[in-house]
C-alpha cells in the first residue's frame, strides 16, 4: 500500500516516527463473516498480526444495514478498548494493521477505507503495493476524482466506482484489470465479505472457519489465537465472495507464474504461521542448516542470534555445526522496534535500549552471529560494536539469505538502491564497515533449497536479490514526487 507523500504532516504520530524499523512490510489484514462477535474476533486476529504493522489499526463492521468503522494511530491494544468494540456491532468485519512503505504516517491513511456510494457501503483493507499507482492516480484526478488520502488503496475504490452500475463483481474485475503490482485485499459491503489476491500471489492470504463462521487472515497465526481451522489459501488471481449463500470463487484473470515473496519466510511472517504451504519456523531452521553446510568450518565458541529475527536460523546453524547455542544478547521486550531518529547517536541509543549483550558470557570468546538480513548496515554496525565493548574476541556473522542488492516495489520498505548497502558495496566492504572478522551470506540456491524449491523450478519472487522483476515498474515511487509537483 504505497503512500503518495503529502505536505500535511502535523497529524503524523510521534510514536510512528520513533519506532520505524530498518526493514518493514506494510500491512496485515483480517476478515470475519457470520459471527455476532465479528469486531472482537477481528481485534484478536489483528493482535496476532501486529508484527505486520504497528503504525495504525482499524476495524469496519456491518450489521446488515450500516458499516461502522473505528481506526487510529497506534498498536491494536491501544487503539481498541472494550467500549469501542461493543459499539462495533455486526456479523461481518474487516480489519487492518498498517505500516506505510513510503510517504507520511497519517490517520487519514489508516485503514480500512470505507465509502458510501450509490446507497451501498464499501470497505477495503490492503496488503501490498500497486506499482502503477502514480500513473493511475494522475489519470483519475484528470477525470475529476477527488482523493481523501495519499494511499494507493483508494485508487481501487475510484476505479470500482466507474463500473458499479454493473454490480460489484464486474466493477472489481474491471478495476483490477488496470492495477499492477502486489495486493491481497479484504473487502466488505453491507452483506458480503470479499477476499482478493493478485495473479502472482506476492502476499499471503488464507481462509479459515470458526464455529460456522468464515475468517480471512494474512497469516494462519491469527487463526490459532481465535481457535479457527485453516481451510485453504486464497489462490493467486482469485476473487472469493462470502455471503449468506456461502462461498463463490471467481478467477477472471489470465493465469501467470506465481511470485510468492520469499522474504516472508526469511523475515516477515511469524514463525508459528504456515504460508505458501509451509511452516515458517521449520523453513527458517532449514536455512540455518544450509548456512552451516555452506560456511562451516568456522571456529567459534558460541552460535548466537540477534533476537528475535535470527533465532530460528541460529537453532538450525548450531544443530548442524555442533557449536553450542547461547543467547548472548538479551532483548528488552518492553520497548518498540528500533528507534529511527535524526542523528546516528540517537539511533545508537535506540539499539542499546532494545538489545544488551551478556558481558560475562562474551568476554574473550569467539562468536558467530546469525541474522536474517542486512539492509542498511548501520544498526548491525552498532550492535557489533557493543559486542566488542563487551569483550568478544572474534565476531563472525552469517546471514540466512543472499545480499539485498535491488529495491522492492512490491511492498517492502526499501524502495531505492541507496537504502541497500549491498547495492554499492562488496561483501568484504560490508564486513569492514560493520566491523566483523568474517561475513557470509546464504547462497540463492541455498535459500531456494530452504524454501523447498530449486533455481529451475520455483514459485518465488527473488527480485530483491536478483533484480529480476516479474512485474516491471514503469515509474519509480519516490517519497518527494508529489511535493515536487506542488512546489
Q: Which residues of 402-436 are buried (b: 16+ CB within 10 A; e: fewer)?
A: bbbbbbbbbbbbbbeeeebbbbebeeeebbebbbb
CA distance 133 to 224: 35
Q: Are 188 and 32 in contact (CB under 8 A)?
A: no
CA distance 248 to 456: 35
Q: Are 433 and 439 in contact (CB under 8 A)?
A: no
Strand partners, 330: 356
Among residues 281, 260, 153, the alpha carbon closest in space to that of 203 is found at 260
Count the neighbouring beta carbons within 10 Å of the beta carbon of residue 455.
12
Q: Are 361 and 326 in contact (CB under 8 A)?
A: yes
CA distance 268 to 249: 28
Residue 29 gets which letter from DSSP? E
All cell numbers assigned to 395:
565476531
All cell numbers assigned to 447:
535459500
Catalytic-residue membership of 296: no
Catalytic position from the list 27, 206, 283, 401:
27
CA distance 382 to 375: 14
Alpha helices in 200-298 (DSSP H): 221-225, 263, 280-295
For cell 536474517, the residue is 372
For the chain, how big is the Rg over CA atoms in Å?
A: 23
**Which residues contribute to the annotated binding site for [4Fe-4S] cluster?**
261, 408, 461, 464
User: Per this entry, what is the length of the chain?
Assistant: 487
For 307, the 3-state DSSP assignment is coil
Compute CA 374 distance to the chain's CA centroid, rounded to the nearest angstrom. 17
CA distance 376 to 74: 26
Q: Are 287 and 317 in contact (CB under 8 A)?
A: no
- Report residue 115: phi and psi, to 5°: -130, 160
Task: Output the DSSP codes for 195-221.
Answer: EEE-TT--S--EEEEETTEEEEESSTH
CA angle, 340 then 434 then 286, to 5°:
90
Among residues 152, 237, 248, the alpha carbon closest in space to that of 198 is found at 237
All cell numbers assigned to 59:
476495524
Catalytic residues: 27
Amino acid at each position: 500500500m504505497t503512500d503518495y507523500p503529502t505536505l500535511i504532516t502535523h497529524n503524523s504520530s510521534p510514536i510512528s516516527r520513533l519506532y520505524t524499523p530498518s526493514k518493514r512490510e506494510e500491512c496485515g489484514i483480517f476478515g470475519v463473516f457470520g459471527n455476532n462477535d465479528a469486531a472482537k474476533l477481528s481485534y484478536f486476529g489483528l493482535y496476532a498480526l501486529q508484527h505486520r504493522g504497528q503504525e495504525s489499526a482499524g476495524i469496519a463492521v456491518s450489521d446488515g444495514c450500516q458499516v461502522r468503522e473505528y481506526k487510529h494511530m497506534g498498536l491494536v491494544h491501544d487503539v481498541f478498548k472494550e467500549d469501542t468494540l461493543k459499539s462495533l456491532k455486526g456479523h461481518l468485519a474487516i480489519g487492518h494493521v498498517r505500516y506505510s512503505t513510503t510517504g507520511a504516517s497519517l490517520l487519514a491513511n489508516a485503514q480500512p477505507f470505507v465509502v458510501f456510494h450509490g446507497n451501498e457501503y464499501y470497505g477495503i483493507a490492503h496488503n501490498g503495493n500497486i506499482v502503477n499507482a502514480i500513473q493511475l492516480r494522475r489519470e483519475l484526478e484528470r477525470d475529476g476524482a477527488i482523493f481523501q488520502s495519499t494511499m494507493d488503496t483508494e485508487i481501487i475504490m475510484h476505479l470500482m466506482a466507474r463500473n458499479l452500475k454493473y454490480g460489484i463483481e464486474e466493477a472489481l474485475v474491471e478495476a483490477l484489470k488496470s492495477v499492477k503490482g502486489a495486493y491481497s485485499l479484504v473487502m466488505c459491503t453491507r452483506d458480503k465479505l470479499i477476499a482478493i489476491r493478485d495473479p502472482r500471489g506476492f502476499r499471503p492470504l488464507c481462509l479459515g472457519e470458526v464455529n460456522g463462521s468464515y475468517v480471512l487472515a494474512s497469516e494462519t497465526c491469527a487463526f490459532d489465537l481465535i481457535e479457527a481451522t485453516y481451510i485453504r489459501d486464497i489462490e493467486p488471481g482469485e476473487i472469493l465472495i462470502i455471503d449468506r449463500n456461502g462461498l463463490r470463487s471467481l478467477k477472471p484473470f489470465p493465469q501467470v507464474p506465481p511470485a510468492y515473496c520469499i522474504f516472508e519466510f526469511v523475515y516477515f511472517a511469524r514463525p508459528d504461521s504456515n504460508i505458501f504451504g509451509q511452516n515458517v519456523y521449520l523453513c527458517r531452521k532449514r536455512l540455518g542448516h544450509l548456512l552451516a553446510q555452506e560456511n562451516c568450518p568456522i571456529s567459534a565458541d558460541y552460535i548466537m542470534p540477534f533476537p528475535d529475527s535470527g533465532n530460528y536460523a541460529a537453532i538450525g546453524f548450531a544443530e548442524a555445526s555442533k557449536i553450542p547455542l547461547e543467547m548472548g544478547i538479551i532483548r528488552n521486550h518492553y520497548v518498540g522496534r528500533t528507534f529511527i531518529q535524526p542523528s546516528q547517536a540517537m539511533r545508537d541509543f535506540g539499539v542499546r535500549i532494545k538489545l544488551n549483550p551478556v558481558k560475562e558470557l562474551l568476554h574473550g570468546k569467539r562468536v558467530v552471529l546469525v541474522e536474517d538480513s542486512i539492509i542498511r548496515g548501520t544498526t548491525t554496525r552498532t550492535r557489533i560494536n557493543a559486542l566488542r565493548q563487551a569483550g568478544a574476541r572474534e565476531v563472525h556473522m552469517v546471514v540466512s539469505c543472499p545480499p539485498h542488492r535491488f529495491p522492492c516495489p512490491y511492498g517492502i520498505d526499501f524502495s531505492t538502491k541507496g537504502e541497500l548497502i549491498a547495492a554499492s558495496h562488496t561483501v568484504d566492504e560490508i564486513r569492514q564497515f560493520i566491523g566483523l572478522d568474517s561475513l557470509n551470506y546464504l547462497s540463492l540456491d541455498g535459500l531456494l533449497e530452504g524454501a523447498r524449491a530449486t533455481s529451475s523450478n520455483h514459485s518465488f519472487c527473488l527480485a530483491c536479490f536478483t533484480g529480476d522483476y516479474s512485474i516491471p515498474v514503469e515509474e519509480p515511487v519516490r517519497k518527494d514526487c508529489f511535493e515536487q509537483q506542488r512546489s
